[in-house]
Structure 1
Amino acid sequence: MHPFALTKRLIRFALTHVVLFTLAFSLTIIPSTFAKQPQTNSVDNFHTQTTKPPTTTPQQLVSQGERFYQSGRFAEAVTVLQQAVRIYQREGDRLPQAAALTNLSLALEQLGSWKEASKAINTSLNLLGWDENNQKLNVNNPKSELLEVLAQTLEIQAGLQLAQGQADVSLKTSQQAEEIWKRLGKQYNTGVTRSRINQAQALRVSGFYRRSLDILNTVSRQLQTQPDSLEKVTALRTLGNAQQQSGDLEQSQKNLQQSLEIAQRLQLPQEISVIEFSLGNTARANGNRKNAIAHYEKAALIAPNPLTKVQAQINQLSLLVENKNTADLELSDTTSLLIPTIQSQLATLPTNQAGIYTRVNFARTITKFGNKRDIAEILATSVQQAKTIGSERAQSYALGSLAEVYEQNSQWQEAQNLTQQALFIAQKILASDIAYRWEWQLGRLLKAQGNIEGAIAAYDSAVASLQSLRSDLVVVNREVQFNFRDSVEPIYRQSVELLLQQKGQGKPDLDKVRRRIEALQLAELDNFFRQACLSNQFVVLDKVVDRDNPNTAIFYPIILDNQLEVILKLPNQPLIHKTSVVKRQEVEQVITKMRETIVEPDATKKFQVVSQQLYDWLIKPVEGELKKSKVNTLVFIPDGSLRNIPVSALYDGALYLVQKYAIAISPGLQLFTPKPLAQERLNALAGGLSQPPKNEKFASLPNVKVELKLIQQSGISTTTLLDENFKSTTLGKTINAQPFRVVHLATHGQFSSKAKDTFILAADGRINVSQLDSLLKSREQKRTQPIELLVLSACETAAGDNRAALGLAGVAIRAGARSTLASLWQIGDDSTALFISEFYRQLTTGKTTAEALREAQLKLLSGTEYTRPLNWAPYVLVGNWL
């Protein structure tokens, strides 16, 4: 056999590095088996052989090394490959010597011998004439054979760098390999594909998920027309993993399933195991616990190597213990069997970054109920292993996790020392996605020791680290997305709680508190869209109120663990701060009860009781200041579950809040400076769908035609798209045809905490929030003026989703409108028509948008038929209230 034939097969290892999502936030790199599996008879023979090769030809030694490698006998592979290298060296055969060294590097890597592996790969590159400093080949007119080995060797080096946590260096190396493959010609397109996949994985480990996804989507399209191959399996699997982390779970499952089917046809057990693992992660992210466990069990059962097996078992364990208390865990037979099973296999894991992360993740999984000493020993060993292999990222992760064990044991000083070490390393390697966790941990530790000022500084750093990651990093990292409420939201809320304890100059910095809670709301929107959705500067609402709207007050309610805070901005006055001592759980129970009873036709009295309780917490403490200031409009920047209720329906025992004030909602930031709507004549694009598509389970809306006609009769110039004319394509064309100031869409819609489930219904199907954004982008390019008012009639929040109103804020922002008027739940067709008619009539008289909304609500409330909050309360105004 030609000496390079083996290398071509061996070096495919660079392709098979795969990044998997494990428990916490680590990204582990798992080496798969080679493309060509050894025959069963051959493997059986290997078990009877010794490390002494039957022949002394270097080609046969390399072949022997490959077989040892394939069967997991890495030490024996190293022995025979070293012998091959020595023979080639004696014979002065530089090219095959370089190839053998590259394969030797692979085997050494599996043993955790990182320095030796790096030395072998560097020696190989030197023999090939590669100038590491100048990143170029110092060989005139190199033969294609040399270039092929060089490209393959660079692939191996990229994999080695990635496994050692040097993702940025790995990316450059993969790019160099790609250039050499391209230089070799089209017959080497497979090599180009491998290098592109490796680049995507390096980008992904660095956190650049969008760029990684772009590469993988391109590779996937190119591979669809190609025959089944390991490359195709890997590309589809890697694409599926990237889609899972970016939140596109449907496409993730589809691509992973296709990858699995090809791997099964090609009989690749390691690939099958890894794909089952990935399918488990996707099912888990989708909330399908049963399917996730089934996939993890299959992955562990099929896995030919201990690392994949243990990782699958750990993910299964983490899923079983998720949101469980210790008593529950003791009752679980599966849990009690898994823990010792995993523990018994820890010693078999390789001493590489993947192995370290696996050990640490196991320790973190059992931290709530395991023996603290055993957990600390596992983590301390992991720290030493990370030092040995020179992976500072893994070292920081292990140190910080060990510190957390000490924190749980109330050993504050030891925990602080370890946390500071972990943080120093994370900052040194610019790993903000790890650093923010240790800054948060340090803040908790300093608070526990009574150092409030130090704790505030640590929390400030954690928030700054999170915000630095917005543009292309952790906001789309599924590891953080997966547990946003556990891993991100508490940092902001705990920080606010600390700031309110601060007594600088006799009182807390309320403006900083307010900006901190707005930063949380921005992070929530980023989380909703899976990207940094806004780059606009905040418009300081204080200036708008003080200078132009002295009749407006701004409310910032903040829900904390043990109190409900209200910060109030009155015109030309300093900020006011009031506290209601009440636990978060009680506040959320009242909000939930209010939301449930408001939509029950015969529960008005029950509703008024819980509504008054919330009124007493939010409004009553500042009632006197509001009356003195003579304001007539309240702008709320609601926090958390407060978004799910109409503030206008808060009840003081005699009157609803809407009977005293006009009310608007702000997401805490403005896309455009607030501007009065009625300065110019209004024109509207009115779209409506009375009969939903057959495949949608929505009721008909017979009064849509009446509703749209009433808009015309109010004196507004209207262009109408009704039923079959109301399609996404027609809407896109029409909305760009002229500068409509109002866009009114009378159709079914849903707001959800997930962007993909937030949509409006058109004749040709659903238009989700991201598509709505695309629909309006061309308008932004043609028109300098934004849409002044977007009205979404007949929409509702998703059932059972207590954060669904986040979708309304998302729509309001993506639509690019100054104001959005929408309903939190669907109400009667006839009352909607009456409400809409009065709303537009009031707008044409010169009322502000908030005032027009109030008058329309009062019209229903003051009649006899629609007096219940169920009928008049669902409409909320988001954004510009003028």
Structure 2
Amino acid sequence: MTALDAEFAHRALLLVFEPFDPELWPLIAPSAPSVAQLQAAGWLQATAEDWQIPAERREQLSSEPATLRAAYQQLIAAELAHAAHNSALAIRLFADLRTFAELLIRQAPHELADLVKQIPTDLAPTKADHQLLEYYRGLAAGLRDQYAEACTLLSQLLAQPDLEPMIRGRALNSDATFARYSGNYDRALANYQASFALWEAQADPVRQAYVLLNEGSLRYHLQEYRAAERCLNSSLATLQAQNLLYPQALVLINLGLLARDRGNWGQSLSHFEQAEAILQAENATDFLGRIANNLGELALLQGHYAAARQHFEQALAQMSSRVYHIDAYLNYGLAWHVEGMFEQAESAYRQALDLVESVERQEIAALVWFRLGQVAAARNDQHQAEQHYLQAIDLIEAMRAPILAESLQISLMGRWQQVYEGAIAAYLAQDKLEQAFLMAEKARARALNDLLARNGQTNQAFGTIPSLSDVQQGLAQGSLMLDYMTLGAVGPEASLLAALPATAKALRSLLIQPAATWLFAITTEDVQAFNCQLDPNILLATSPFQCDGRRFLRPAILQRLAQRLLLPAQALLHQAQQVLVVPHGALHHVPWHALLLGELELDLPTTTIPSAASYLQLSQRQPSQASAPCVALSYAGGVEPALVHTYAEAAAAVAALGGQHYPLPAPNIDQQLGTYRIVHIACHGVFVLDQPLASWLQFGPNQIVSALDILTNWQLDADLVVLSACQSGVSEIVRGDEPFGLVRAFLAVGARAVLVTLWPVDDVASAVLMQLFYQALQAGYEPAEALQQAIQQLRSMPQAQVSLPLAPSQQGDYPFADPHYWAGYQLIGVGNSISKVKPATSAA
């Protein structure tokens, strides 16, 4: 070792000053050895193109991350001192700024703000450098958990019309992430998608992968697990192909979370360990702290509470980002909470709450208040629990209000169901029916209600939640509303809950509300609440037939459901003249006509509605002002089996009511439907479980009309839409109790009521029932009454009166007595008010 070797204190600086520039070296390190001395000592060697550090010397220059960052700071400071008077050094300054900033983002994100505030904007040699510095300032604010400031700075940057595409793409991605942390999910999703489109246009698959990573994280956060998995796997494939390890680790963390929530704890641990190995090599301490938090969650779920607390303590020690300290404190509190250590649990939750207020992370504040409410409830302080739950719900409502995207509204409400359920249970325990009902209405996603209000189709203000007295005043005399609310129904977390050990009962009780089904029975004069003694989870199905209501038609199942769901309100039912059913969760798939006509033998006009708020909105919608009575569309072809009687059904509707019959396909038919009070559509219909808004009706060869098409392009003024199509009434009931499918589409675009089927209907039975239904409408019955009359006549119709050919299985005294033929019909919306139809005067 030479004297120069021993005294050379600028090794790290030499490493970061690459490519080495002999002319700038004296300015950068005036007290360091000269170029000639470095060359003589073997630290530098000249090549034909540039100067290089020999490989054996480079190994000696390897430095600890903190030392390396200090060298970059020294380099930037030296360049800053001369850049104003040296254009070459100014160019070099911004090149080194980019390198150092990207290093800090990985290793010490909180230090980025200190770096960028040193750099005067007027030193930027080019417009792109100026824009990049502005981007780093916005990013630095977000990395210090100052989300409002970050979004403001990034919005100002994005407003520049000449913004470099590379910088615009990154700014959109970063702005989306900070908007997400602020609870602005509309903005987050829109900017992720805009960023992805930009990188796609730039043919930059790596940046696309970064966006997919972040969007996958958002989808996971909203419990949209299938969408999250698609985004994350696509991102990982690209990053692996490019051999980019650091971002792979971030994807693996999210995949680990996804596997954990699906109960695949071994796979989850494998993902976390792979990510940990990569991040240790990158010296990414902050992210290593996040993995410690994730490992603590796994230990907690497996019942290893002391080990979990150790992981959470490690996470709090390692992480520099305060925003993730909140998660660690929440988990730390939970690890005390499950063992009945309420004082320690509350202390940890309060520390999380203090951080929430300092870092603007409102989207997690609701969970903190909810956990505090659970502590109060465990101490039997119901009043304090109620107050904490209300604080959580106020925060959720504030986040929900500005969201325009329906899918995001629904996902958000699904994620927070447990909070509302906790408040409902607390109110019911205190016999506060008014507050419990109001909270049950709030617990629904309400996306359809908001859509109706935004479209100006009702006189209710956006976001209105009806009180019990509002509902009572809106009911007609003799009406009975059966408003159901299910608590503790498992959703996307079902696999995680199933994987909990038998000893984890305390943890389970904190992760999901005890299962129950409650009924609010409402008339104009009375309100009663009943615990139906029914676990809603026994009604859930995991098969592809989960939305098929025929699974409830077995006599023993119908009898038990009637006993649980109807018998508590038996006295009120026997006094009622009509029934309005507000289902919840899996109850949307129950054939209510079969239930009422079974053990209780109640033959009443029955309508189902998505919520009490929907009922008030639809009933306040003005009756149709359309000039023509009825339009009927029919198409027999398409998917098997062929529908033989659709033409006859449509012709019967027009014969009874007057109007026009259009055999399909018919050009631009959707543009003509707004002039008819009743719209009858007889064709094949298919419900798409994975994408309910892709559910469709077949209007001709290779011509389908999806629920999304209807929502986007149709406008009706119809008292009634009749969908005589297979599975036209099936909806996926997503978390938050929002029905997604064709029914929702027609109600949203102007129908007051929709008559649909819950399962594929028999063609002959459908033709007969439709003829009876329209005859009843012609005779002056309202839609709910007309359906009641048609079902009554169909099930009691002797074979001799059936003019259409019957299948061998239908031969018998009463071929349509079985509920399979008639119980699937359901009127959804407002079934007791319709513009009076006139007897037919013409038919086409």
Q: Does structure 2 retain, via aligned residues, the 8 Å contact 1:611–1:651?
A: no
| 1:411 CA displacement | 1.6
| 1:516 CA displacement | 1.7
CA offsets, 1:424-450, max 9 Å, x none?
332454433101111222222221221
Q: Does structure 2 retain, via aligned residues, the 8 Å contact 1:300–1:312?
A: no
CA offsets, 1:728-787, max 9 Å, x none?
xx2332224xx32222222222444743343333325433322211122xx37xxxxx42
In 1, the alpha carbon distance for the partners of 2:721 and 2:137 equals: 54
Structure 1 residues 426, 816: closer, same or farther in 2, change over 3 A? farther
The one-letter amino acid paired with 2:680 is H
| 1:669 CA displacement | 1.9
CA offsets, 1:686-714, max 9 Å, x none?
2222112xxxx443212111111001111
Structure 1 residues 362, 548: closer, same or farther in 2, change over 3 A? closer
CA offsets, 1:611-653, max 9 Å, x none?
12111122222222333xx321010111111110121111576
The one-letter amino acid paired with 1:837 is Q
Counterpart for residue 385 of structure 2: 455
Tell whether 2:399 aligns with 1:419. Answer: no
| 1:420 CA displacement | 2.2
| 1:83 CA displacement | 4.2
In 1, the alpha carbon distance for the partners of 2:240 and 2:304 equals: 25
Counterpart for residue 688 of structure 1: 634
Counterpart of 1:632 (choices 535, 556, 577) is: 577
SS of residue paired to 2:125:
helix
Q: Does structure 1 retain, via aligned residues, the 8 Å contact 2:581–2:609?
A: yes
Counterpart for residue 492 of structure 1: 420
Q: Does structure 1 retain, via aligned residues, the 8 Å contact 2:583–2:608?
A: no
Structure 1 residues 288, 688: closer, same or farther in 2, change over 3 A? farther
Q: Does structure 2 retain, via aligned residues, the 8 Å contact 1:102–1:124?
A: no
CA offsets, 1:3-37, max 9 Å, x none?
xxx99x99xxxxxxxxxxxxxxxxxxxxxxxxxxx
Q: Does structure 2 retain, via aligned residues, the 8 Å contact 1:435–1:462?
A: yes
| 1:542 CA displacement | 5.2
Counterpart for residue 118 of structure 1: 113
The one-letter amino acid paired with 1:668 is A
The one-letter amino acid paired with 1:643 is H
The one-letter amino acid paired with 1:394 is Y
Equivalent positions of 1:859-878 (< 5 A) are: 859-863=793-797, 864-878=814-828
Q: Does structure 1 retain, via aligned residues, the 8 Å contact 2:725–2:760?
A: yes
In 1, the alpha carbon distance for the partners of 2:227 and 2:759 equals: 25
SS of residue paired to 1:761:
strand
CA offsets, 1:518-539, max 9 Å, x none?
222235869999x999935356
Counterpart for residue 365 of structure 2: 435
Please provide the CA RMSD for this pair: 4.8
CA offsets, 1:48-102, max 9 Å, x none?
x9x997499xx9899x9xx99xx99754643543443354355464663653456
The one-letter amino acid paired with 1:285 is R
Structure 1 residues 379, 233: closer, same or farther in 2, change over 3 A? same
SS of residue paired to 1:469:
helix
SS of residue paired to 2:300:
coil
In 2, the alpha carbon distance for the partners of 1:589 and 1:149 equals: 57
Counterpart for residue 699 of structure 2: 762
SS of residue paired to 2:741:
helix
SS of residue paired to 2:388:
helix
In 2, the alpha carbon distance for the partners of 1:878 and 1:152 equals: 55
SS of residue paired to 2:306:
helix
Q: Does structure 2 retain, via aligned residues, the 8 Å contact 1:433–1:474?
A: no
| 1:366 CA displacement | 3.7
| 1:723 CA displacement | 2.2
Q: Does structure 2 retain, via aligned residues, the 8 Å contact 1:75–1:107?
A: no
The one-letter amino acid paired with 2:657 is G
| 1:421 CA displacement | 2.2
CA offsets, 1:233-264, max 9 Å, x none?
355335545765787xxxxxxxxxxxxxxxxx
TM-score norm. by structure 1 comes to: 0.71
The one-letter amino acid paired with 2:208 is L
In 2, the alpha carbon distance for the partners of 1:465 and 1:585 equals: 28
Counterpart for residue 13 of structure 1: none
Counterpart of 1:570 (choices 499, 504, 523) is: 523
* Range 518-527 or range 461-470, more displaced: 518-527
* Range 847-856 or range 542-551, more displaced: 542-551
| 1:715 CA displacement | 2.4
CA offsets, 1:663-683, max 9 Å, x none?
443433223335796999861
Structure 1 residues 813, 515: closer, same or farther in 2, change over 3 A? farther
Q: Does structure 2 retain, via aligned residues, the 8 Å contact 1:674–1:880?
A: no
Counterpart of 2:563 (choices 616, 637, 640) is: 616
CA offsets, 1:103-129, max 9 Å, x none?
5444445442734x422211113xx34
Q: Does structure 2 retain, via aligned residues, the 8 Å contact 1:171–1:202?
A: yes
Structure 1 residues 225, 437: closer, same or farther in 2, change over 3 A? closer
Structure 1 residues 52, 773: closer, same or farther in 2, change over 3 A? farther
Counterpart for residue 233 of structure 1: 205
Structure 1 residues 468, 526: closer, same or farther in 2, change over 3 A? farther
SS of residue paired to 1:124:
coil
Counterpart for residue 803 of structure 2: none
Counterpart for residue 154 of structure 2: 174
Equivalent positions of 1:661-672 (< 5 A) are: 661-670=605-614, 671-672=617-618
The one-letter amino acid paired with 1:789 is L
In 2, the alpha carbon distance for the partners of 1:343 and 1:620 equals: 57
Counterpart for residue 399 of structure 1: 329
SS of residue paired to 2:644:
coil
Structure 1 residues 352, 477: closer, same or farther in 2, change over 3 A? farther
The one-letter amino acid paired with 1:701 is L
Where structure 1 has 5 or more consecutive residues not aligned to the other structure, the ranges are 1-5, 11-48, 130-141, 248-277, 503-507, 781-785
In 2, the alpha carbon distance for the partners of 1:609 and 1:423 equals: 50
CA offsets, 1:305-327, max 9 Å, x none?
4x545444444544554454xxx
Counterpart for residue 854 of structure 1: 788
In 1, the alpha carbon distance for the partners of 2:268 and 2:754 equals: 49
In 1, the alpha carbon distance for the partners of 2:731 and 2:741 equals: 14
In 1, the alpha carbon distance for the partners of 2:52 and 2:141 equals: 27
Counterpart for residue 272 of structure 1: none
CA offsets, 1:488-532, max 9 Å, x none?
222222322221101xxxxx2212212222222235869999x99
Counterpart of 1:704 (choices 627, 633, 646) is: 646
In 2, the alpha carbon distance for the partners of 1:810 and 1:397 equals: 37
Counterpart for residue 39 of structure 1: none
SS of residue paired to 1:721:
strand
TM-score norm. by structure 2 comes to: 0.74
Structure 1 residues 753, 669: closer, same or farther in 2, change over 3 A? farther
In 2, the alpha carbon distance for the partners of 1:481 and 1:355 equals: 33
In 2, the alpha carbon distance for the partners of 1:562 and 1:822 equals: 30
In 1, the alpha carbon distance for the partners of 2:829 and 2:42 equals: 77
The one-letter amino acid paired with 1:466 is I
Count residues with an aligned counterpart: 731
What is the aligned-residue identity percentage?
Answer: 15
Counterpart for residue 716 of structure 1: 658
SS of residue paired to 1:873:
coil
CA offsets, 1:449-478, max 9 Å, x none?
211111122222222222222245598798
Counterpart for residue 836 of structure 1: 770
Structure 1 residues 243, 676: closer, same or farther in 2, change over 3 A? same
In 1, the alpha carbon distance for the partners of 2:311 and 2:407 equals: 27
Counterpart of 2:476 (choices 549, 566, 586) is: 549
Counterpart of 1:735 (choices 673, 685, 710) is: 673
In 2, the alpha carbon distance for the partners of 1:616 and 1:452 equals: 31
Higher helix share: 1
Equivalent positions of 1:343-354 (< 5 A) are: 350=283, 354=287
Counterpart for residue 713 of structure 2: 775
In 2, the alpha carbon distance for the partners of 1:352 and 1:407 equals: 28
